[in-house]
Each structure stands twice: as structure tokens, then as C-alpha cells.
Amino acid sequence: MNRRELLQKSAALSLTATVPFSFASAEVSNTASSTRGTSSLNPLKPPVHGPIPVAFLISEGAAVIDFCGPWEVFQDVRIPNQPDQGFHLYTVAETSDPIDVSGGMKVTPNYTLKTAPQPKVAVIPAQEGDTDAMADWIRKSAESADVVMSVCTGAFLLAGTGLLAGKAATTHHDSYRAFTRRFQDVQLKRGVRFVEEGNLATAGGLTSGIDLALRVVERYYGRDVAKQTAYYMEYQGQGWVNESSNSVYADVGTGENHSPFCPVCGMDVDPKTADKSVYNDKTYYFCMPEHKEQFEKTPQKFVKAS
């Protein structure tokens, strides 16, 4: 019995009595709300039978909330009058060895890049890994996936495949400048929770991935199902119905303060205390030792667009 089933068993009567969009009465509707921001609903068609396969691409340092937030959303979806779960979730990595993700959590991937089933939804969180094999997997997944979505600086991985060339995207607000320097052929959108471009989608930082996941749920199963999922999670954020709600970050990363910033992530740094490295007679400063180490392995990767 999973966690949701346990909670439902212990409080079934009270839950049914109090939720505003009950499973029994909810209708799957693909009508866009007037509160939506710039995107139309663009509904997706779920399979006739069985759940939708969702792959989470992870490597060392993967940000826990970036993939666990959307994971929670997808696992909590329940479809009216449908006994099967809406989504089947699994992790994918280059190897099957346990991976240390953010905060010291250790995750054992379900599949490798070579053995993973083809997903209909692929989730790319912020992480340290950035290899040719990962890029190839993303490109292959995008060929038949309904949605390939990045969260936070996972947008760097997605953009690195070339799939976002000529398209709009977003990322964590601390990385706006680094993103625009490295991917000049991608139109960065500041101050939005997420951006959708065909079957590609990019979320802003951290919790924005929850909103984009709810948006994906809505596109497959309608707003009532997405609302019910958010209600069950006790998630009161409204970014999934109004992607422009990140407007507080719209002016971040435009460079007005002229402060040095980390060439890896774009975060402002204090040159008096920051780690530094010299490349081609120019000094670069870093927000953390790990980014200095990452830069020194392949400096041309981070300065080629400067």
C-alpha cells in the first residue's frame, strides 16, 4: 500500500466530504482558464490503456526538489473512473550505480540510458552531469515524447542538445546571464514560471518544476484533475495557472549592478572572498569550489560565448 492509499484509507470519508473537486464529480475538461498567462492549453492525449511513462534523468548533484517535486505531482494524480494510475515514474542515469544527489541523498537509478523505456514525458533537473551520452538520450527521447521538460538549470542540459535553438526558454533567475551568454540562439524569458515550445518546456528555479508538472497533468487530464492533485498535495501555488507569476524576477540577471558573477551559474559573487581562476589572462570568480573545479576542466565551454 502506497502513502496515498494509506491516507485515503484512514480518512476517506472526511476527504470526500471536504474537497472542492471530488474524484467522483470531477470532469476531465480541456478548457483553458481566463487566468492563464501567455500559453494556450494545447491538450495532450493520454494512452487508451496503461499509465504515461515519465523518465527522470539524473546524475551526481541532481537537485532533489527539481525531480522530486514533479515526481510527487505525477505520483499523486488520480483519474476519475480509472483504476490505473495516470503516470509510471522511473529514474534514468548513465550507470545503475547509486548517485549522490543534493543534500547527501543517495538514489539508485531504475534504468541506465541504454535500458530505459522510451518516455512520453522526460524530466531534466539541475545536476552536475553534462555528457554526450546524456545529450543523445535527450534528443532520442524528444523524437517521440509528448513533453521534454527541464527544471531550473536543467535548461542548460536541454539547450546543450541544440533542441532549443531558435526557441524561447527560462531557467533559475540566478543563471539568466550565464544562460544568455552560452546560448545566444535561445530567447531567454525572464520572470516566468515556465515556457512551452512545442513538445519542449522549461521551468524556472526549484519549485517552478511543480507548477510545470501540474501544467502537464492539466494538458493530459484537464484542469479538475490538476486542481485535485494540487489540493491533495496541499499545494497552494498558482504558478501552474499563470506562468507569469514569477514577474518579481523579470529584472534579475540584466547586469546593471556590474558585480562579478560565476561563469558556471551566473550567480553574483564577492571577488574579495570568492574562489578564482585565471584563463587566457582573465580572472574568473566562482560562487562555490565545485564550480571552480567544473570550470577548470573545460573553461572554453563557459567562456566561448562571452
What's the pLDDT at 265? 75
CATH number for the domain spanning 131: value is 3.40.50.880
Q: What percent of the chain has pLDDT over 70?
A: 83
Q: Are residues 157 and 297 in the same domain?
A: no
Report pLDDT digits (tens) over 132-187.
999 999 999 999 999 999 999 999 999 999 999 999 999 999 899 889 989 999 99
> Which single residue is written with the C-alpha cell 539568466?
176
What's the pLDDT at 59? 98
Whole-angstrom Cα distance, residue 229 to residue 95?
Answer: 33
Give the confidence band of 8 by pLDDT, cuts at 50, 70, 90.
low
pTM of the predicted protein model: 0.78
Last residue of a domain, one of 249, 273, 295: 249
Which residues are bridge partners to 169 per DSSP? Answer: 188
Higher-pLDDT residue of 280 and 83 is 280
Q: Are residues 201 and 132 in the same domain?
A: yes
Residue type, 1: M
What's the pLDDT at 262? 84
Q: Are residues 132 and 241 in the same domain?
A: yes
Give the confidence band of 1 by pLDDT, cuts at 50, 70, 90.
low
Q: Are residues 190 and 268 in the same domain?
A: no
Give the confidence band of 261 by pLDDT, cuts at 50, 70, 90.
confident
What's the pLDDT at 254? 56
Q: Are residues 224 and 266 in the same domain?
A: no
Q: Are residues 236 and 270 in the same domain?
A: no
Strands 111-112 and 106-107: unpaired
On whether the CB atoms of residues 233 and 19 are closer than 8 A, the answer is no
Q: Are residues 222 and 163 in the same domain?
A: yes
Q: Are residues 49 and 166 in the same domain?
A: yes
Supply the range of the domain harboring residue 83: 3-249
Q: Residues 45-55: what's their mean pLDDT?
A: 94
Q: Are residues 283 and 234 in the same domain?
A: no
Mean pLDDT of the chain: 86
> Which single residue is written with the C-alpha cell 578564482?
276
Whole-angstrom Cα distance, residue 235 to residue 303?
Answer: 40
Q: Residues 277-302: what's their mean pLDDT?
A: 89
Size of the chain in residues:
306
Instruction: Provide the domain count of the chain.
Output: 2
Higher-pLDDT residue of 84 and 98 is 98
Report pLDDT digits (tens) over 96-139.
999 999 999 999 999 999 999 999 999 999 999 999 999 999 99
Higher-pLDDT residue of 255 and 226 is 226
Q: Residues 52-68: what's their mean pLDDT?
A: 98
Q: Spell out the residues 6+ positions from residue 283 whose beta carbon is closer than 8 angstroms to its own.
A: 276, 277
Last residue of a domain, one of 249, 273, 292: 249
On whether the CB atoms of residues 125 and 66 are closer than 8 A, the answer is yes
